[in-house]
Amino acid sequence: MNDSNSADLAQSISTALQAMRDSRPKDAEAICRDWLSANPGCAHHLRLLGHALMKQKRLDEAEEKIRFAMDLEPDFPQLYEDLGSILALRGDYEGAIPCFEIAIQREPSLPGPYRKMADAPTDLSAVPEAIRKAGL
């Protein structure tokens, strides 16, 4: 990717993030879809699109985008956290917890998966095990 494309990528992500911070998920969705129409393999835009769709309660679409991004970037820990979040929003905590564990295994310094596992109304015995596996 040349410097111009890198700058365009950074600007697009920044604009989409600002739309999300401003509670404008439809605008963030449009920004991401516009970028992805020319760059369909951008895991960062797919992730942001997934977040925009989650905010709009379009969980099936969000899951589809996150899983596609995971296929492209299987070592991207935040994608596992995102998938876990989608599953938790559906009430599937048994499916969500392993996603959070994978995120922690791949990046132990991420605070989100620990917090989300602790918030899950299920058997929390997995939390100490995940912390042990992460070496914390």
Across 14-23, 29-38, 114-123, least confident range: 114-123
Q: How far is CA 80 from the centre of its chain?
A: 7
The 8-class DSSP code of residue 120 comes to S
Confidence of residue 133 (pLDDT cuts 50, 70, 90): low
Q: Give yes or no for residue 129 having a pLDDT over 80.
A: no
**Mean confidence (pLDDT) of the chain:** 89
Q: How far is 25 from 89, CA to CA, in rounded Å?
A: 17
Kindly report the number of other CB atoms within 10 A of residue 93's CB atom: 20
**How high is the pLDDT of residue 81?**
97
Of 70, 80, 88, 126, nearest to 107 by C-alpha is 80
Q: Give yes or no for residue 127 having a pLDDT over 60.
A: no
**How high is the pLDDT of residue 122?**
52
Average pLDDT value for residue range 14-22:
97
Question: Please, where are the H alpha helices in 1-136?
Answer: 3-21, 25-38, 43-55, 59-72, 77-89, 93-106, 111-119, 126-134
**How high is the pLDDT of residue 82?**
97
